[in-house]
Amino acid sequence: MKWQAVFENVYIYQNKEHSIVIAAGFPVNFCRNGLAGKERMDINTAEYELAETTTLYEITKVLASSMDLRSCLKQVMDILAEKKGMLNGTVSIVNPVTANLEIEIAQGMTAEARKRGKYQVGEGITGRVVASGAPIVVPQISEEPLFLNRTRSRGDIKQKMVSFLCVPIKQGQQPIGALSVDRQYHEGLDFDKDLRFLTILSGLLAQSVTRILAVNEERKRLERENTLLKKELRGKYQIGNIISNSSRMQEVFEMMYRVADSNATVLLRGESGTGKTLVAKAIHYNSKRAKKSFVAVNCSALPETLLESELFGHEKGAFTGANTMKKGRFEQAEGGTLFLDEIGDLSHAVQVKLLNVVQDREFQRLGGVKPIKCNVRLVTATHKDLEKAVESGHFREDFYYRLNVFPVYLPPLRERRTDILLLAEYFLKKFCDENEKNIGRISTPAIDLLMQYHWPGNVRELQNCMERAVLICDEDAIKSYHLPPTLQSAENTTDRNPLSLSAAVENFERELIIDALKKAKGNQTKTAKMLDTSLRIVNYKIHKYGIDPDDFKVRA
């Protein structure tokens, strides 16, 4: 037997002796006229298989396109009712926590009835199907004592002429649930065909249920992880967690507390490396917008041709290569904070567009015609002298006044010297943890070098300096010779000239003598023995380098 589709809803049945056209909508008896009994049986089988295949195809489309398990199963049950006359379609899944069978979806069943439909594995018809992994058919539910009708959705089953079919839903060889349907009972009902169809369907459902549950679980895991990360960020960027005990930074903290919960535009001023990005994040995570996004853009890192698209997004076809619509940073930061670093490097054209956004709180994507409203808190930063830029015409005056609503000046590290050692010890611990090293302290000569240096690169330079020191140090303390050459001599802190060999040797000797005096508690004889040299040489070096042994003696 062979069926071949030639047009929509038109099929040709062919065997060795006959070629017959069957068109959907023609009376079956009309199509069968003149056919022998075997041919009529072949046509009946072909019609059933065609209807079955069509139904499975529609169900497969639903299962493949949906990510909502309940909605997906509801559509499948509706298709079963419409195409196959299988009513009260129900999917029950084993709850991994309680190990009970619970109804996930049931056609036409109320939520209250679904709650009643809970079974232990092995209980009732559905429970037995899951326990045994084999399908069960109840020709007439009114005559079956094991049919519990716990949901009571069928009314009085004693008055019903209904058949009940239930097949297991398996993940591999393990039953994870059951699929059941009702059929109106009549003599000659072919349960074998229905069971075969439902078994195929249960295999499709098992794959989809497993996939959707896995995707939903992954989504929940990511949401939990995202929530945890946001909590960690809020903790990390608490204003009180910023490392400083200088009076200059305490003034900065006071201003941050005042402005955090407002919607005012903040302008962070200060040299490169003073921590403007850290302060911007602290303002965001201590504000009422903390649960929304913090989006940062470095204006000097992007060419002008890309910056506009990056900020405002673009529509499909807005320019060559714009194959899809793209949301800009303003849309990504909706409800949160947009941080524009190096705002002083913006061109006049971008300044004008940003001015309109700041004033009107709306913008248009490149190539778009519809204005988009935005609810974004703007924090900007620059190391440039904007007042001079305004005077020279490089920065728009109206844009400057729009940004300069709440200026915050971050002092350079050389103006907050009490923070240098505090920050150095913080970075020492941080990089020791990252590199799995055990370096307990910073030696006194190294501290002296850190304190004497003028730090043109500010906190960022100090961080890089300590990371380098940790990487090259194989001892229990950071020594002066572990620090970069630019720090090795106080005389070199203003011109950054390379260190001479003699100065490096002197620093190294001074470091060794101080460490030995500490261990010997100021005893010069013991110090000489530790250094494997004479007391005379130790005395000479102590006087040469201006070291006072009494500083290391233990006082009662």
Contacts of 493 (CB under 8 A, 6+ apart): 452, 453, 454, 486, 487
CA 58 – CA 48 distance, rounded (Å)? 15
* 85-143 tens-digit pLDDT: 888 888 888 887 788 888 887 877 777 777 777 888 888 888 888 888 889 888 887 77
CATH number for the domain whose boundaries are 414-491? 1.10.8.60
Residue-level pLDDT at 342:
92
Q: Give residue for tokens 């000797």.
A: 509
> What Rg value do the Cα atoms of the chain yield, rounded?
39
Do the beta carbons of residue 538 and residue 524 sit within 8 Å? yes
Residue-level pLDDT at 270:
93
Work out whether the CA dihedral 199, 202, 206, 208 comes out positive or negative. Answer: positive
Whole-number percent of the chain with pLDDT over 90: 25
On the question of pLDDT at 209 being above 80, the answer is no
More confident residue, 73 or 439: 439
Tell me what the mean pLDDT of segment 134-158 comes to. Answer: 75
On the question of pLDDT at 498 being above 50, the answer is no
Work out whether the CA dihedral 384, 386, 389, 393 comes out positive or negative. Answer: positive
On the question of pLDDT at 460 being above 50, the answer is yes
On the question of pLDDT at 495 being above 70, the answer is no
CA 151 – CA 115 distance, rounded (Å)? 8
CA 290 – CA 281 distance, rounded (Å)? 9
Residue-level pLDDT at 492:
41
On the question of pLDDT at 524 being above 80, the answer is yes
**Lowest-pLDDT choice from 7-11, 152-156, 418-422, 489-493:** 7-11
More confident residue, 245 or 66: 245
More confident residue, 458 or 14: 458
- In this prediction, residue 402 has a pLDDT band, given cuts at 50, 70 and 90, of very high
Residue-level pLDDT at 462:
95
More confident residue, 151 or 411: 411
Domain(s) of CATH 1.10.10.60: residues in the chain: 500-556
Tell me what the mean pLDDT of segment 329-357 comes to. Answer: 91
On the question of pLDDT at 29 being above 50, the answer is no
Do the beta carbons of residue 166 and residue 178 sit within 8 Å? yes
Q: Angle between the 191-236 and 276-285 helix axes, to the nearest 10 degrees?
A: 120
Which candidate, 161, 178, 181, places its Cα nearest to that of 169? 178
Give me 255's structure tokens.
């201003």
Domain(s) of CATH 1.10.8.60: residues in the chain: 414-491
* 279-309 tens-digit pLDDT: 999 999 999 998 899 999 998 888 877 888 8
0.85 exceeded by pTM: no
Residue-level pLDDT at 409:
95
Tell me what the mean pLDDT of segment 350-356 comes to. Answer: 89
CA 222 – CA 376 distance, rounded (Å)? 25
Average pLDDT, the chain: 81
Give me 490's structure tokens.
């106080």
Domain 241-411 in CATH 3.40.50.300: yes
More confident residue, 225 or 451: 451
Give me 526's structure tokens.
């013991």
Domain(s) of CATH 3.30.450.40: residues in the chain: 67-236
Work out whether the CA dihedral 355, 358, 363, 365 comes out positive or negative. Answer: positive
On the question of pLDDT at 16 being above 70, the answer is no
Residue-level pLDDT at 11:
42
One CATH from 1.20.140.10, 3.30.300.130, 2.40.50.100, 3.30.450.40 for 67-236: 3.30.450.40
Tell me what the mean pLDDT of segment 437-444 comes to. Answer: 90
CATH superfamily of 500-556: Homeodomain-like (1.10.10.60)
Domain(s) of CATH 3.40.50.300: residues in the chain: 241-411
